[in-house]
Chain A
Amino acid sequence: MENDYPEPSPEEIDRLYSRLEKEARQGGYNLNSDGEFARGLVKGLLVNERRYGYQACPCRLAADDKIADLDIICPCYYRDADVTEFGACYCALYVSKAVLKGEQKLGSILERRPPKEERQKLQPQPEPQSKSLLSASVAEPRAGPGTLKLSVPVWRCLVCGYLCGRDGPPEICPICKAGKERFERFI
């Protein structure tokens, strides 16, 4: 069992940590205030980026396949629900305000990500051109054009739920920085 990548340097870890910290604050999220703990996870993100080409969740086994792992690129699709229910994401990189203030204690968090077999069932069949968004939950818009008259479609960020009306999803989510491939067509 040898490490198969060069170790990220302390400077690299600091740089990503500072960026995530700033982005979290701007988006209304909080990083774990245990700096050493959080830095350990940030290091894992850098290691995974080297290994797989994307920042897969450090506490989950990545498939080395970006499409199969779209849901566990950090921040993952499960973060917000876990922060709401348990006070922290699965890894505890992100925590709730209550945890930050010490009003809520962190415990072990159950894995919310469905097992591989169920995820495969949820995966939509790839669709032609721009509709192929590889969303893990909804392939078709939730409301059809007959229900609502819209000048542009509505896109939903699968990580944080941000909605916007425009021809295509934004390059990155302005709230949580998820890439456009992690948006679904909502309406």
Chain B
Amino acid sequence: MVSSYGCDFMNSEHVAGNDKGKIMLYALSTCIWCKKTRELLQSSAVAFDYIYVDLLKGEDRVQAIDEIKKYNPGTSFPTLVIDGKAIVGFREKEIKEALG
């Protein structure tokens, strides 16, 4: 289920599923709202990538934070980017709508 994938990051993990556009989840491994977001994506059976920013070190972490800032200047988690549009926080309804 998880494998490295040529997304924005060498570090992101890919989850296979139905193609609903480019979906990237920036998350923290300790955050329960991030976990809920990931579970929602998984149960929706969409293809997505995710990255646990707290597990990144050095340059990788800096790069990830820069990337998140483009969508969410406050760099809070989870930040879910669907086709260039960000949903910040576990907003179940919005996420479901965005996934169609």
A169 at the interface (CB under 8 A from B): no
- CB closest residue in chain B, given A59: B31
Q: Are B54 and A40 in contact (CB under 8 A)?
A: no
Complex interface residues of chain A between 35 and 57 (CB less than 8 A to chain B): 37, 40-41, 43-44, 47-48
- Chain A: interface secondary structure? loop
A4–B61 CA distance with the chains assembled, in angstroms: 15
| Contact A40 to B55, CB < 8 A, known contacts A59-B77, A109-B89 | no
Q: Are A44 and B30 in contact, with the CB atoms below 8 A? A: yes
* Chain A interface size, under 10 / 10 to 19 / 20 to 34 / 35 or more: 20 to 34
Closest to A47 in B: B30
Q: Mark B53-92, 1 if CB is under 8 A from A, else 0.
A: 1111000000001000000011111000000000001110
CB distance from A34 to the nearest CB of B (A): 10
Q: Look across to chain B and name the residue whose beta carbon is closest to the beta carbon of A108.
A: B89
Asked if A41 contacts B89 (CB within 8 A), the reply is: no
Looking at chain B's contact residues, the main secondary structure is: loop
In the bound complex, CA of A116 to CA of B75 (Å): 9
B54 proximity list for chain A (CB < 8 A): 61-62
A71 to B85 Cα, complex, angstroms = 30
Instruction: Count contacts on B: residues with CB < 8 A to the other chain.
Output: 25
Asked if residues B28 and A61 are in contact (CB atoms below 8 Å), the reply is yes
Q: Are B28 and A108 in contact (CB under 8 A)?
A: no
Contact of A44 with B32 in the complex, beta carbons under 8 Å: yes
Shortest beta-carbon distance from A156 to chain B in Å: 27
A48 to B54, CA, bound (A): 10
**Which residues from A are CB-within-8-Å of B73?**
115
A3 and B28 contact, CB distance less than 8 A? no
B29: chain A residues at CB < 8 Å are: 1, 3, 47
Query: How distant is A1 from chain B, measured CB to nearest CB, in Å?
Result: 5
Residues of A within 8 A of B55 (CB): 1-4
Residues of A within 8 A of B (CB): 1-4, 37, 40-41, 43-44, 47-48, 58-62, 91-92, 108-111, 115-116
Q: Could you list some 20 contacts between A and B, CB below 8 A?
A: A1-B13, A4-B55, A41-B32, A44-B30, A44-B32, A47-B30, A59-B28, A59-B30, A59-B31, A59-B33, A59-B77, A61-B53, A61-B65, A92-B32, A108-B89, A108-B90, A110-B89, A111-B74, A111-B76, A115-B74
Closest 9 CB pairs of A and B: A44-B30, A58-B30, A108-B89, A59-B31, A111-B76, A1-B55, A40-B32, A108-B91, A1-B52
